[in-house]
Structure formats: C-alpha cells, structure tokens
Amino acid sequence: MTDKVVKIGGASGYWGDTALGPKQLIQHGDIDYLMLDYLAEITMSILARARSKNPEGGYATDFIDRVMKPWVKDIADKRIKVIANAGGVNLEACRKALEAVAEEAGVTLKIGTVEGDNLLDRADELREKDLREMETGTAMPDRAMSVNAYLGAFPIAAALDAGADIVVTGRCVDSALAVGPLIHEFGWKPEDYDRLAAGGLVGHLIECGAQTSGGNFTDWHDTEAGWENTGFPIAEVSADGSFVLTKPPETGGLVSVLTAGEQMLYEIGDAHSYVLPDVICDFTRVTMEQIGDNRVLIRGARGREPTGQYKVSATYMDGFTCIGSFVIVGREAAAKAKRMGEAIRNRAAAMLEEEGLPLFSKSDLQVIGAESMFGDHARPEAGQAREVVLRLGVHHPRKEGVELFSKEFVGAALSMSPAVTGVTPGRPRPSPVVSLFSGLIDKDQVPATVKVGGEPVHLPQACLKGQGRAQPAEPLEVAALPEGRTVLVPLMDLAVARSGDKGNYANIGVIARDARYFDVIRAALTPDRVRACFSGLTRGPVTAYPLPGIHGINFLLAESLDGGGVSSLHMDPQGKTYSQVLLELEIPVPAQQARDWGLV
C-alpha cells in the first residue's frame, strides 16, 4: 500500500458562496486539488434560461470571474488541479472563457470537459420511454426547462488521466468532484467498492465548503470568534480511502468529530444505502476520531455494487408565485398579523372570482416572531411578541392571479391592522414557480463525452456497469431504559443536529454529544415523537436510520417541505431550521444517569 496522501480542498458549496474559500485554500492550503461545487437543480433551470437568451451563457460565471481570473497564475505556479461543475449547460463556452483567462495571464493549462448529462434535447424521447417520477410515479411534465443526468466520477478521472489541469463538468453527483481525482491518483477500479464509498464520503463532507469546518454548527459559540475567516475544509486522503479532515492553519471555524458528523448526515436518507452513480455507500459504521487540533481521522465507509441507472432531474414551469411581508408592531402583534393575512387572502380570492380567474392553487400564512416553525410546541409567551413579520405567499396558474395578489397585498396597508410597516419597498414581485421532477434512466442511455483541449478521450465502459440495489439497514434494537424516576432534559444538552432537504423530504441528523447518551436518545426520540414535533409541517411518515459508528440517527420526514425548493411557500423550504426546532424538545432521562452525567 502506497504512503501517498492526496489533499483536496472544498472551496465552494453553491453558486454564490464566498470568494474567501478559493483564496484561502490556494494561498495557505498546500492542496493538490481545488474542488468547487456550483450546481443545484434550480441552478440548472437558471442556466438553461441564460443560454436561451445568450448562446455564450449557461455556465457559472463566478468560476471565471471570482476564482480563475484572480488566481489562475497561482494555480499554475503551485500545480494545483481544479475540478468544478461550473460548466452548467454550456461546457464549450466555459472552456473558451477559461482558455481566454489562461492566455491573458500567460499560463498554459490543459482544460478537460465532461459532457453528456444535458438531456434537454431528448426530453420528448424520455416522455415516450415513459420516464416516471421516483417518488410519486407521475409522468414527466410536458415542457421542461432543464433535464440533466447525474454522472459519476470515472469521466473526471479519465480527463485527469489524459493530462487535464482543470476539469469542468455539467451536472454530476456532487461528490464525484472529489472521487474523480482519487480514482486518478490511486488507480481505483470500478469494483473497488469500499474505496469508492470512502471517496464518496470525502466528497460529501467537503462539497458544502465551510459547512463541515464549523459553518452552521450547533455549538456556534465555539466558532463565532473566527467567522470573518472561517476555514474551508481539506481532506488528506490515503490510498485505502481513510482520510483526515482539516482546514488551513490560522483560520476560524472548527474541525471536530461533531462538525464532521453533522455534515455526514446532512441531506442524506438511509446511510446504509446512500446511492451514488459509481457505488452504493454504507456509512453506518463510519468512525471519527479527533487526532489533533482541527484534525479528524475518518474511516470505515463500505461500498456495494452500483445500480445500473442514473438519476435524472428535470425542472419545469408550474405556474406563478408571489410572497409579501409586513412588519407589525405593538400589543397583540401576532394576532393582528394573523387576522390581516387572512383578510388579504380572502379579499384577493373574492376579486379573482369576480374577474373570472381560478382561485389560488395554494397559499401559506406565517407569523414570524411568534414561533411559527414550532407549531403545537410554540411557547405561550411567543404569542405575546410585540414585533412580528406577517408573511403571506400564494401560487396561481396564471401570472394575472399573482399580480392581483401583489397589488392587493400592498393595498391593505392602510385599511387593516395598525402599526404596519414594510420590509422591502414597493410591491412584492411575482415570479415563476419552478418545480422538480426526478426519475431514473439506464446508464447506457446516457453516453458521457470526455475531452481534453477539445479532443475526445476514451472512457472505459466498465465504469457504467452495475446491477446493485439499495438495501435497507437492519433496524437497530432500542435498549430499554432503567426503571425509575426520569427528568426532562432538552435534546440540545444531549446532542447536536443538522438538517436539510431532499426534494419534498426534510432530513434531520442527530448525533449524541457523548456515546453514553446514545441509548437514551434512541429510546426517547422515536419517529412518532419526531413527527409530533413537526405536526404542523409534516404530512408523511418519519423514518429513522441509525448510524451507530458515530452514535447518530438520521430522520427522514416525508412531505414536509410543501414541495421543496422554489415551489414551496414555507418560510423554510429547505428544512435548514428543523434541527434547531428538534433540539428544543425535552426528552426523559433516568434521574440517576442525569445526575451522573452532570445534566441536572
């Protein structure tokens, strides 16, 4: 086994991330690879629209303007290789922009591209093949704005094998941006499932930038002193797939077992069968060990044969939306806001009917400041808040419907509640609703094309094989708690948590602060208890997936995001706040153990 270590820095978690990450990692990270993740499903629709307006558009321009232009000479001098999914729906234009930047800086870099994910031109063919939504079984929508397959890591590795210094992709699974370099550096084969799964975990941990090195951490007081210069993550990976998670020296943030654990559970479902294009991962026995300041050793990922299909996501126009907000101040502010929102909605609905327009397809009213997110568990005193925000959103199949709402929302300012002021000037802006459709397609129906310097590169077909299936984990037996008196302890005292979205599912990952707490948490935090905590938001079942290796549980809440993404009217359409709501829940702990552990 080689002693070689490959260092990959995660510099961007989304299109719009801070420019600090690339600067920090290039100047002080001592990295071999710079990885930048820009794409999400809605981003693809934005890029598709941009290209329809301008043939030279359709890629993530921040990659050129905020990363390559300022740093291309340093990248070349330090021989750092760059992997980014910035190509969006126009790889060729992105490649030409990169070439122009390199030429202007007087450096020579070989640029590789991975294409084939963009299936928009084949939308009619996919409908004829009766492509169905993965969760609901519904047919593919008639008019798609974008259609993209999630490619794997082997095409990226092929570009690197052919000498590419920079590899730009369209839509691929996010973690492939890290797995591709590891395949290239260590010679991993398609059947090296454990190593590919370990690489998938590397990518999953660093794909969201500083979120794994202290950003969004439950114990934010441990990191807030360094927020101005939060460190971006570096994975130091060995040939067997084990790796050390760290960050550049003298940066803020924190790399600990708990920051890494939170990120591992972020936006995944069943960690026993986390499906990637190249492998089915099992993270349930992953272990994390603090081996130094801001250094965590991570190992134990296991892999199985991949499936024979790619996930395909399409975005499509699904009507129009408009969301308005007012600040309301004074005694009974929450009650005034709720009544005002109801009156605006009723008034607008009556006007729609008078004009012969359909009623709103859906609406959502929230009073921010009165603990709307906590539902039945809101504190009584929250209803007495003296400063709240009325937030009212609607969907309508026609633009005229939301334009009427926009006018009437502002028009209510002088005719309803006292002490009303605006959050933003002018009328709330109507916008299209972009909804998501996800299905599965056989891999041999999506041929990837790899080029370096514009010339085609051979891609071995072995990486497209696989007939594996997701297999649910065996349920973890819950230990019975000792009989006797219990005391109620906030979950926050026992665990940390991170939450996010998977379509219309919210996921909440909970990790015990101490291994001794795990049995207590498992016994008290049942799926039914979690569902009851979100009774005002969750319409479907809640499933618990245990991860005993890190003393964690991942909860998946079905139908809890009102459709998710921009099709949602919820205040939190991506479930980012759900973990903080759950951590406020009080759970029973045996009184003697609570005393022994110093919890009471």
Residues sharing a CB contact under 8 Å with residue 91, sequence separation 6 or more, in sequence order:
59, 113, 114, 115, 168, 169, 170
* Residue-range domain boundaries for the chain: 5-116+151-307, 320-433, 486-596
- CA dist 176 and 149 (Å) reads 13
Handedness of CA 468, 469, 474, 475 (dihedral sign): positive
What are the backbone dihedrals phi and psi of residue 236, each rounded to the nearest 5 degrees, phi first?
A: -100, 100
**197: which 2 tokens?**
């799964």
Interval 19-26 mean pLDDT: 97
Interval 526-544 mean pLDDT: 93
Interval 9-25 mean pLDDT: 96
Q: Count Cα neighbours of 215 within 13 Å in the Cβ-side half-sphere.
A: 24
Partners of 542 in beta bridges: 557
Contact 153, 132 (CB under 8 A): no
Query: What pTM was estimated for this model as a whole?
Result: 0.95
Which CATH code fits 320-433? 3.30.70
What are the backbone dihedrals phi and psi of residue 449, each rounded to the nearest 5 degrees, phi first?
A: -120, 125
In 5-69, beta strands by DSSP E: 5-12, 33-36
Contact 149, 312 (CB under 8 A): yes
pLDDT for 462 equals 65
pLDDT for 342 equals 98
- pLDDT grade, residue 463 (50/70/90)? low
pLDDT for 282 equals 97
Residue 326 has pLDDT above 80, yes or no: yes
464-516 pLDDT tens trace: 778 888 887 777 677 677 788 999 999 999 999 999 998 899 999 999 999 99
Residue 48 has pLDDT above 90, yes or no: no
Contact 7, 181 (CB under 8 A): no
Interval 82-88 mean pLDDT: 97
What are the C-alpha distances in Å from 544 to residues 197, 221, 508, 531, 557?
A: 22, 29, 10, 11, 9
236-287 pLDDT tens trace: 999 999 999 999 999 999 999 999 999 999 999 899 999 999 999 999 999 9
pLDDT for 481 equals 76
pLDDT for 50 equals 87
Give first-to-last CA distance, the chain, whole Å.
50
With residue 364 as reference, give the H or E element that holds it: strand 362-368
302-319 pLDDT tens trace: 999 999 999 999 999 999
**488: which 2 tokens?**
């109620």
- CA dist 243 and 235 (Å) reads 6
